[in-house]
């Protein structure tokens, strides 16, 4: 099997590749973040709008701000807009009487009307003493002023100041920022909203800085003099006072007293509508009022270096964490976890937004899903490919628990072949040939499947590996392909369970009137070579080979000679004798072998009632090996009277009689030479 690529990717190579892929996952999204990808930025901008309208909702507006509305009612009563300037004199007079703190016009008066009207309006502005007039700039992409639209000089000189009304929409037409300061002729002209806030605070000056504009004790966060607008709510959030109602004295003066009032158009027909996160038809005058509200209330949206650092950190954390998860859990588990993680992150961004921090809602989740795609693909194509290969190779004869371990620890098995310490078991059905002759093939197959199915379930229950079925026999082992420190004890526990299961099947078959059968087996522990045997691409299987396998197979055949159900080799006995009880049966030299092997019968657990036969048999065996044939024969004979079916006693009686007549050589070692396999 060609696994050179997988071998390389394991260990340090695997970790290096995973680290590289995790780095790529994070780097790609970080690069997109730094380059301000227009496509992604448009989505990020939409999340800014979403946070206002769909999540946070409206806030309470500042109590000192109001709108003097040029609305449909005023147009109907005062005439078609634009009005003559003579209409504004009474308005200013009423506002002054009511005690308005400042009046800011979201309108300018650039053309002459008549000398008398212009002089009267200038006089009204000067008399009010709290009027701010608008100016509009034509600017290029760098916000360099290329042209100006402003009120007539004599009227503008009568005002307390000017404020620009430039509102520059983003690429999608939504106004999200306001440039608070624009340079004209070497001077910085404040935005109308900033002038309104300064009027409430009774401040005449502002102090600009690179990321901050200071007005009194308030510090306004800006970048290139632009402030993110924290919208208070939909159109109409600020109290509106119709111009005609003010002029005709229909407004309670107490409602206007002490307020900073923005005068502007709210009637749809005047076409001073702007697109904001809350609405596509927000009067421009309300945007200026919102800017003033942000400054006065301190409800700013921060997107500074701190937020950028947080964005980068969260991109890295989300990307690496998701990649880590994809390497630890399968893709179908990683997907919902990533979705849950991203949902939790979005909740976090909303909570930060409520505190005035605009943290990216797009890039960190994008890093998570990029890592999911890259990490998941890597796991599926590389890591799970190995797991699928393991599953295909081992699932038919390995317990689900071990298959799961192999999928998680593919390095635990050397596919190409490796030396392993294992315990191997061979079983066989006693008298199966005769049983087959007495029953139809259909009956034989049915009984065999029932028996094999029950035995396989028992072997899997004790974490064994079913290697193959040999006719009516089973070859199973413990300790491969995954190492098991207690492989011999697991095998012994399995044998006791098999005996219990066979007893239940035996009783069931008798109840059903079916001829039962019994099994026998051989067990041995030792070193084998475990690996793939066969022809690649045609027929291959994972198996174990070696002398230990041969010994176990021959012990299964030898069990018939001794008349016991399971014959256990010395190696297995040595590592399990503290846990299980045995009867030593013999020391044998198998056909073609020089090294003798002690063999034992498994009798149960130490907690089981002490078997008198086992103790007496040990005494008799010691006499036999001491060449005391007559005494040994008497012991074996007395045991046989109590246990007439005990085959080992019969065997040793025959041997004692033989040696009494034909004593062995002086160098006899007590080993019995098997002439059959």
How far is 627 from 610, CA to CA, in rounded Å? 28
Cα separations in angstroms, 3 against 10, 14, 617 = 11, 14, 54
How far is 237 from 223, CA to CA, in rounded Å? 27
Residues 24, 323: contact at Cβ < 8 Å? Answer: no
439-467 in b/e form (b: 16+ CB < 10 A) is eeeeebeebbeebbeebbebbbebbbbbb
Using one digit for the tens of pLDDT, what is the confidence trace for 60-111?
999 999 999 999 999 988 888 888 888 899 999 999 999 999 999 998 898 8
Q: What is the DSSP letter of 398?
A: B
pTM, 2 dp: 0.60
As a whole-number percent, the residues of the chain with pLDDT over 70 amount to 89
Query: Of 491, 513, 496, 501, nearest to 451 (Cα)?
Result: 501
Name the residue with higher pLDDT: 234 or 19.
Answer: 234
Using one digit for the tens of pLDDT, what is the confidence trace for 254-307?
999 999 999 999 988 777 889 999 998 899 999 999 999 999 999 999 988 888
Mean pLDDT, all residues of the chain: 86
In 10 A of CB 26, how many CB atoms? 21
Q: Is the pLDDT of residue 5 over 60?
A: no
Q: Which residues pair with 208 in a beta bridge?
A: 213
How far is 102 from 579, CA to CA, in rounded Å? 97
Q: Is the pLDDT of residue 4 over 50?
A: no
Name the residue with higher pLDDT: 325 or 609.
Answer: 325
Name the residue with higher pLDDT: 139 or 22.
Answer: 139
Q: Where are the domains of the chain?
A: 4-53+304-391, 65-295, 403-608, 612-677
Q: What is the DSSP string of 472-492?
A: TEEEEEESSSS--TTHHHHHH
134-143, 338-347, 371-380, 648-657, range with the lowest pLDDT: 371-380
How far is 130 from 350, CA to CA, in rounded Å? 40
Q: Which residue has the tokens 């992150």?
A: 345
As a whole-number percent, the residues of the chain with pLDDT over 90 amount to 50
Q: Classify strands 161-164 and 131-139 as parallel, antiparallel or unpaired.
A: parallel
In 10 A of CB 293, how many CB atoms? 27
Give the pLDDT band of residue 403 (cuts 50, 70, 90).
Answer: low
Name the residue with higher pLDDT: 15 or 510.
Answer: 510
Q: What is the DSSP string of 2-40?
A: --HHHHHHSTHHHHHHHHHHHHHHHHHHHHHHHHT-HHH
Name the residue with higher pLDDT: 370 or 136.
Answer: 136
Cα separations in angstroms, 521 against 474, 546, 555 = 9, 18, 7
Query: Of 287, 19, 97, nearest to 176 (Cα)?
Result: 287
Q: What is the mean pLDDT of residues 328-351?
A: 84
Cα separations in angstroms, 210 against 42, 64, 167, 223, 665 = 26, 29, 21, 7, 110
Quote the crossing angle between the two packed helices 363-378 and 331-354, to the nearest 10°.
170
Q: Is the pLDDT of residue 223 over 50?
A: yes
Cα 593 off chain centre by: 58
Q: Is the pLDDT of residue 196 over 50?
A: yes
Query: Of 256, 230, 227, 226, nearest to 241 (Cα)?
Result: 256
Burial of 16 (0-12, 13-18, 19+ CB in 10 A): exposed
Q: Is the pLDDT of residue 497 over 90?
A: yes
Residues 576, 488: contact at Cβ < 8 Å? Answer: yes
Burial of 283 (0-12, 13-18, 19+ CB in 10 A): buried
User: What kind of fold does domain 403-608 have according to CATH?
Assistant: Alpha-Beta Plaits (3.30.70)
Q: Which residue has the tokens 């607008």?
A: 229
225: its two tokens: 């003099």
Which pLDDT belongs to residue 13? Answer: 60
Q: Which residue has the tokens 């392909």?
A: 481
Phi/psi of residue 15, nearest 5 degrees: -65, -40
Which pLDDT belongs to residue 1? Answer: 37
Q: Is the pLDDT of residue 11 over 60?
A: no
230: its two tokens: 């924290």
Q: Classify strands 177-179 and 226-228 as parallel, antiparallel or unpaired.
A: antiparallel
Q: Is the pLDDT of residue 9 over 50?
A: no
Query: Of 411, 339, 334, nearest to 379 (Cα)?
Result: 334
Using one digit for the tens of pLDDT, what is the confidence trace for 438-449?
888 898 888 999
Task: Please provide the size of the chain in residues.
Answer: 677
Give the pLDDT band of residue 373 (cuts 50, 70, 90).
Answer: confident
CA dihedral (484, 486, 490, 492) in degrees, to 10, reads 140
Using one digit for the tens of pLDDT, what is the confidence trace for 555-596?
999 999 999 999 999 999 999 999 999 999 999 988 777 889
Using one digit for the tens of pLDDT, what is the confidence trace for 550-564?
999 999 999 999 999
How far is 323 from 271, CA to CA, in rounded Å? 52
Q: Is the pLDDT of residue 609 over 60?
A: no
For residue 240, give every residue at least 6 positions away whose Cβ sits within 8 Å of its Cβ, in sequence order, or none: 66, 67, 68, 69, 71, 266
How far is 155 from 111, CA to CA, in rounded Å? 11
Using one digit for the tens of pLDDT, what is the confidence trace for 103-151?
999 988 988 988 899 999 999 999 999 999 999 999 888 778 888 999 9
Residues 256, 243: contact at Cβ < 8 Å? Answer: no
Using one digit for the tens of pLDDT, what is the confidence trace for 32-43?
888 887 888 888
Q: What is the DSSP string of 197-210?
A: HHHHHT----EE-S
- Find out whether the peptide bond into 82 is cis, omega within 30 degrees of 0: yes
Q: Classify strands 65-70 and 240-242 as parallel, antiparallel or unpaired.
A: parallel
In 10 A of CB 327, how many CB atoms? 17
Count CA within 13 A, CB hemisphere, residue 85.
Answer: 23
């Amino acid at each position: 099997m060609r696994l050179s690529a997988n071998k390389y990717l394991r260990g340090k190579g695997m970790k290096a590749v995973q680290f590289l892929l995790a780095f790529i996952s994070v780097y790609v999204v970080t690069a997109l973040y730094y380059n301000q990808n227009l496509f992604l930025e448009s989505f990020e901008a939409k999340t800014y709008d979403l946070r206002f309208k769909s999540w946070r909702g409206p806030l309470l507006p500042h109590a000192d701000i109001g709108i003097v509305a040029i609305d449909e009612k005023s147009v109907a009563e005062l005439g078609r807009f634009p009005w003559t300037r003579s209409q504004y004199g009474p308005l200013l007079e009423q506002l002054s009487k009511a005690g308005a703190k400042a009046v800011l016009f979201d309108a300018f008066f650039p053309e002459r009307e008549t000398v008398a009207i212009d002089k009267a309006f200038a006089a009204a502005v000067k008399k009010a003493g709290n009027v701010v007039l608008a100016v509009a700039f034509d600017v290029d992409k760098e916000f360099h002023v290329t042209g100006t639209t402003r009120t007539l000089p004599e009227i503008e000189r009568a005002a307390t100041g000017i404020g620009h009304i430039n509102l520059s929409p983003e690429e999608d037409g939504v106004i999200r920022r306001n440039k608070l300061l624009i340079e004209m002729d070497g001077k910085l002209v404040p935005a109308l909203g900033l002038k309104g806030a300064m009027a409430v605070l009774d401040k005449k000056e502002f102090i600009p800085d690179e990321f901050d504009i200071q007005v009194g004790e308030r510090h306004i966060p800006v970048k290139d003099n632009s402030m993110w607008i924290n919208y208070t709510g939909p159109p109409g959030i600020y109290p509106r006072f119709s111009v005609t109602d003010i002029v005709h004295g229909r407004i309670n003066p107490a409602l206007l007293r002490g307020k900073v009032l923005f005068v502007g158009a709210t009637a749809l027909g005047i076409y001073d509508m702007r697109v904001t996160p809350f609405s596509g038809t927000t009067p421009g005058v309300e945007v200026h009022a919102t800017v003033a509200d942000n400054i006065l209330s301190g409800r700013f949206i921060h997107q500074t270096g701190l937020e950028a650092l947080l964005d980068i950190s969260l991109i890295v954390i989300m990307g690496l964490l998701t990649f880590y998860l994809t390497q630890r859990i399968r893709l179908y588990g990683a997907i919902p976890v990533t979705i849950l993680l991203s949902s939790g992150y979005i909740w976090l961004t909303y909570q930060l937004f409520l505190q005035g921090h605009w943290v990216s809602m797009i890039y960190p989740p994008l890093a998570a899903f990029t890592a999911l795609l890259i990490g998941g693909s890597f796991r599926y194509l590389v890591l799970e490919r190995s797991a699928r290969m393991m599953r295909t190779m081992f699932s038919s004869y390995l317990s689900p628990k071990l298959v799961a371990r192999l999928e998680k620890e593919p390095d635990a098995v050397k596919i190409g072949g490796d030396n392993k310490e294992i315990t191997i078991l061979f079983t066989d059905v006693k008298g199966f040939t005769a049983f087959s002759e007495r029953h139809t093939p259909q009956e034989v197959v049915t009984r065999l499947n029932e028996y094999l199915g029950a035995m396989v379930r028992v072997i899997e229950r004790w974490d064994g590996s079913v290697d193959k079925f040999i006719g009516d026999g089973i070859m199973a082992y413990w300790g491969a392909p995954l190492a098991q420190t207690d492989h011999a004890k697991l095998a012994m526990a399995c044998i006791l369970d098999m005996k219990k299961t066979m007893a239940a099947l035996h009783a069931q078959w008798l109840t059903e009137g079916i001829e039962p059968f019994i099994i026998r087996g051989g067990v041995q522990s030792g070193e084998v070579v475990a690996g793939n045997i066969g022809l690649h691409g045609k027929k291959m299987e994972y198996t174990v080979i070696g002398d230990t396998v041969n010994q176990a197979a021959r012990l299964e055949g030898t069990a018939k000679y001794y008349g016991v159900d399971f014959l256990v080799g010395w190696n297995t006995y040595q590592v399990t004798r503290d846990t299980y009880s045995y009867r030593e049966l013999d020391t044998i030299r198998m056909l073609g072998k020089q090294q003798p092997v002690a063999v034992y019968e498994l009798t149960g657990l130490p907690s089981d009632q002490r078997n008198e036969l086992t103790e007496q048999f040990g005494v008799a065996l010691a006499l036999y090996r001491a060449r005391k044939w007559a005494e040994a024969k008497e012991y074996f004979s007395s045991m046989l009277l109590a246990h007439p079916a005990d085959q080992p006693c019969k065997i040793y009686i025959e041997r004692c009689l033989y040696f009494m007549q034909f004593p062995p050589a002086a160098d006899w070692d007590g080993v019995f030479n098997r002439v059959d396999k």
